Amino acid sequence: MYRAPRGMQDILPDDQPEWHYLLDRCADIAKRYGYRRIDTPIVESTDVFLRGVGETTDVVEKEMYTFLDKGENSLTLRPEFTAAICRAYLEHGMASWPQPVRLYSIGPLFRYDRPQAGRYRQFHQFNVEAIGEADPTVDAEVIDMAGLLYEELGIPRTSLLVNSIGDEACRPSYVAALRDYFARHLGDLCADCRGRLERNPLRLLDCKNSVCQRIGDDAPRSVDWLCDACASHFATLSRYLDRLGRPWQVDHRLVRGLDYYTRTVFEYQPHDVGGQSTIGGGGRYDGLIAQLGGRPTPGIGFATGLERILLNLKKAGFEAPPPARPVAYVVAIGEETAADAVALAATLRRRGIPTAGPVGGRGVKGQMRQANASGARYAVILGPDELAAGEAQLKPLQGGEPRMVPLWRIADALTADT
RNA sequence: GUGGGCGUAGCCGAGUGGUCAAGGCGCCAGAUUGUGGCUCUGGAGAUCGAGGGUUCGAACCCCUCCGUCCACCCCA
């Protein structure tokens, strides 16, 4: 028996109401903040992610679905949105639009990872980017939008962690200081961290190993190494965040795993932590557009995992909106009425009435069971007697008396009740 | 990539070496002839994840693979 690929799943009809509820909430929030939707291809040239996300990141090194198409071009199933959106920004000359360009996307991403709670190989994100503005007002805007989304969805007790990791001017010296510091504790570090020391010292900060954590407690803090411009940016953002009234805290160990981040980085975490503690996060990427071949252009973005939102909503006792149900279910009695029943159902649908049935080859009882199971409000029953009289029986399925209605008025009767 | 738990009908789930593998949900049908929901009755549906091995005999023991869940790693 065939199954969906590992770590990927079908979104079944019963799952659709909650799924679409979520999509709608995201789209609504984005709209309220003035963000417009963009959809990009699910595959991109591999280079977009190689150069955008960073060649030494885990995402690029071991998690990408990369393949050669028949023209020998290397393509990759997008593992994240930001690099792809920036590619679109450049390709379509969005630098000539009013800045910042505010965009959002919703769709599937792919990462070849070992699946576990809240982590899948195909997963979905709501993603937001504001490209072309370096001012911290935009940082505050994006951070606030994410917070409001969680608030309105009713995810209880998320905490907002923020940090600033500097830019190309000040980060190198900070990284050097960090490397020096950890090098002095080399013997006590876990094996992973010893490896990370050379390649990406920032990552030592969020190692889960308790010994490494204790060493990290006294490590140099990025906020102490910021250049004047970065320090001022962070100070201003801090004022804005305080003024917004949403609780937040600086997390000196927050660094995030993608290379393009500069200055502001942030994460939202539900308190009720399982294995996957981050529900959403993002940050500034002032060097990314240039990295992809454009003129230097600042940007900031945010992404949240829809599956993780759902995970948290369900833990909080979230109930999905009720599924869509037909208004009418047409029941045909006997072979000779089947054609007229099919035509009657077709007529109702043309009149805009959601209609299911008829299904032949079953008894009346069987069809009535179907009608009931469909959740339809009315059974429209057509038998030889009704047909002869030019009418059909309209039977309310949630209580009430059946009545006879002329065939030509059935749509009106149903519409009047809708 | 590493470690651990688990894999019995569409779903849940008993059964841990020996009759034709329980039960529940769901599905289909019937309970006097053309009417659902409750109840009752009946039926269909399982090569017990796959392959190999041990044994007179395996769903139950062993091995391999696959899948799944959880954790590490990483991240959403």
Question: In the 3-class helix/strand/coil scheme, how is chain A assigned residue by residue?
Answer: CCCCCCCCCCCCHHHHHHHHHHHHHHHHHHHHCCCEECCCCCEEEHHHHHHHHCCCCHHHHHCCEEEECCCCCEEEECCCCHHHHHHHHHHCCHHHCCCCEEEEEEEEEECCCCCECCECCEEEEEEEEEECCCCHHHHHHHHHHHHHHHHHHCCCCEEEEEEECCCCCCHHHHHHHHHHHHHCCHHHCCHHHHHHHHHCHHHHHHCCCHHHHHHHHCCCCHHHCCCHHHHHHHHHHHHHHHHHCCCCEECCCCCCCCCCCEEEEEEEEECCCCCCCCCEEEEECCCHHHHCCCCCCCEEEEEEEHHHHHHHHHHCCCCCCCCCCCCEEEEECCHHHHHHHHHHHHHHHHCCCCEECCCCCCCHHHHHHHHHHHCCCEEEEECHHHHHHCEEEEEECCCCCCEEEEHHHHHHHHHHHC
d(C-alpha A107, C-alpha A366), whole Å: 40
Specify the residue for token string 């940016």. A233
Indicate if A234 and A293 belong to the same structural domain: yes
Whole-angstrom CA distances from A319 to A47, A91, A282 are: 42, 42, 28
Indicate if A257 and A160 belong to the same structural domain: yes
Residue A108, number of CB atoms within 10 A of its CB: 14
Number of domains in chain A: 2
Task: Among A254, A283, A315, give the residue marking a domain's end.
Answer: A315
CATH number at residue A29: 3.30.930.10
Taking the CA of residue A395 and the C1' sugar atom of nucleotide B65, their distance in angstroms comes to 57
Task: Among A253, A284, A315, give the residue marking a domain's end.
Answer: A315
Residue A314, number of CB atoms within 10 A of its CB: 12
Taking the CA of residue A8 and the C1' sugar atom of nucleotide B50, their distance in angstroms comes to 21
Taking the C1' atom of every nucleotide in all shown strands and the CA of A63, the nearest one is B74
**Nucleotides on chain B within 7 angstroms of protein Cβ:** 1-3, 26-31, 34-37, 66-76
| Complex prediction ipTM | 0.85
Taking the CA of residue A52 and the C1' sugar atom of nucleotide B3, their distance in angstroms comes to 33
Indicate if A266 and A355 belong to the same structural domain: no
Indicate if A247 and A379 belong to the same structural domain: no
Taking the CA of residue A364 and the C1' sugar atom of nucleotide B50, their distance in angstroms comes to 44
Determine, yes or no, domain membership for A289.
yes
With a cut of 50, which residues of chain A have pLDDT below it?
Answer: none
d(C-alpha A210, C-alpha A158), whole Å: 24
Instruction: Report which of A271, A363, A346 is spatially closest to residue A315, judged by C-alpha positions.
Output: A271
d(C-alpha A258, C-alpha A51), whole Å: 11
Instruction: Report which of A222, A293, A209, A318 is spatially closest to residue A261, judged by C-alpha positions.
Output: A222
Indicate if A43 and A136 belong to the same structural domain: yes
Indicate if A113 and A58 belong to the same structural domain: yes
Determine, yes or no, domain membership for A195.
no
Residue A239, number of CB atoms within 10 A of its CB: 12
Instruction: Report which of A141, A160, A150 is spatially closest to residue A254, judged by C-alpha positions.
Output: A160
Specify the residue for token string 């360009």. A101
pLDDT in tens, A165-220: 999 889 888 988 888 888 888 877 777 777 777 777 888 887 777 777 788 888 89
Taking the C1' atom of every nucleotide in all shown strands and the CA of A5, the nearest one is B67
Indicate if A306 and A343 belong to the same structural domain: no
**∠ CA(A82), CA(A87), CA(A89), 5° rounding?**
95
Indicate if A302 and A342 belong to the same structural domain: no
Indicate if A342 and A296 belong to the same structural domain: no
Taking the C1' atom of every nucleotide in all shown strands and the CA of A397, the nearest one is B36
Crossing angle for the helix pair A16-32 and A306-315, to the nearest 10 degrees: 110
The residue count of chain A comes to: 418
Q: Are A379 and A371 in contact (CB under 8 A)?
A: yes
CATH number at residue A333: 3.40.50.800
Q: Are A289 and A94 in contact (CB under 8 A)?
A: no
d(C-alpha A253, C-alpha A202), whole Å: 8
Which residue range(s) make up the domain with A135?
13-170+226-315
With distances taken from each CA to the C1' atom of nucleotide B71, the closest residue turns out to be A275
Amino acid occupying residue A143: I
Q: Structure tokens of A108?
A: 């599937």
Indicate if A311 and A335 belong to the same structural domain: no
Determine, yes or no, domain membership for A338.
yes
Amino acid occupying residue A142: V
The reported pLDDT for the residue numbered A147 is: 95
Determine, yes or no, domain membership for A176.
no
With distances taken from each CA to the C1' atom of nucleotide B28, the closest residue turns out to be A366
Residue burial A138-167, b: 16+ Cβ < 10 Å; e: rest: bbbbbbbbbbebbeebebeebebbbbbbbb
**∠ CA(A250), CA(A252), CA(A255), 5° rounding?**
110
